[in-house]
Amino acid sequence: MENKTFGKNYSNKYDLFYENKDYEKECDFLEELFRKYKLDPKSILDLGCGTGGHVLPLARRGYKMAGLDLSEHMLEIAQDKLKSESLEADLRQGNIIEYDFDQKYDSVISMFAVYSYVTQNEDLLSSFKCAKKHLKPGGAFIFDCWNGPAVYKHRPLQRHTKIVREDEEVFRLTNPILDIENHVVETNFEFLYLKNNELVGREKEQHMTRFFFPQGLRQLLNTAGFDQVYFCPFLKTDSKIDDDCWYLTTIAFNSESK
């Protein structure tokens, strides 16, 4: 199953589609997890960093940031944002399945369901091993993904999103197809670009998004060398996961830590 995702046009509009996403609150959540598990990270590697939604606020808070993303276009946007604020981060283009920054970090994070784009177990295991390799002793690997029980209960829905900027309009039509056997959702996006009420462009993207179950995640993380694995709902550090939390947050420690 191939992901045909985040082309140049979508990358350019990405921040508009998610302009109401509260990245500061999500970084507060990360810091709550750091405190809960008695972590004091100075350096953080962000896998699937995109346009820098988490890299920038974390850099502002004083963390030494690095980031990896498959999309060159998104990284260019992130670099422009960093430059505009006189911030620095080591951003590199690459695949989270296999990468090498040739250094270790106090924490490795991956936000906004980046790992739901890894649909094959062998790729997931490879990525988990890479994350462990890049962690210093005592560090934590924190990521969120789609929660299987919630996907089964609530089911992905068709959605229409509209963005208006001066004389330009963008429509995103979302049509998800649930594949229960393979634990993935095939999400078909169609983008319509209008200027002065005239259609000037149209394109499609297909995103294959995997959902996970805690026990399966724990087994794969254990195999990769993470011997302590904890879960909580996204943005709720002291709650238990259930079939109403769409995003599941995982906190994993390697065998040299804790």
Query: Which CATH architecture group holds 8-146+213-254?
Result: 3-Layer(aba) Sandwich (3.40)
SS3 206: strand
Q: How far is CA 201 from CA 43, 69, 170, 195, in A?
A: 42, 26, 10, 9
DSSP state of 106: E
Q: Where in the chain is the domain with CATH 3.40.50.150?
A: 8-146+213-254
Q: Which residues of 208-242 are buried (b: 16+ CB within 10 A; e: fewer)?
A: bbbbbebeebbebbeebbbebbbbbbbbebeeebe
CATH class of 151-209: mainly beta
What are the beta bridge partners of residue 188?
A: 175, 206
Q: Do 255 and 228 form a contact (C-beta atoms < 8 A)?
A: no
The residue ranges of the chain whose pLDDT is under 70 are 1-4, 255, 257-258
112 vs 117: CA distance, rounded Å: 10
Q: pLDDT at position 29, please?
A: 99
* Residue the block writes with tokens 């995003």: 247
Residue 195's region, left for phi above 0, alpha for psi from -120 to 50, else beta, is beta
Q: pLDDT at position 6, please?
A: 80
Q: How far is CA 221 from CA 59, 136, 203, 247, in A?
A: 28, 17, 37, 18
Instruction: Say which residues have a Cβ less than 8 Å from residue 206's Cβ, sequence separation at least 6.
Output: 2, 3, 4, 5, 186, 187, 188, 189
123 vs 133: CA distance, rounded Å: 15
Q: pLDDT at position 257, please?
A: 45
Q: Do 156 and 187 form a contact (C-beta atoms < 8 A)?
A: yes
45 vs 66: CA distance, rounded Å: 5
Whole-prediction pTM value?
0.96
Q: Where in the chain is the domain with CATH 2.20.25?
A: 151-209
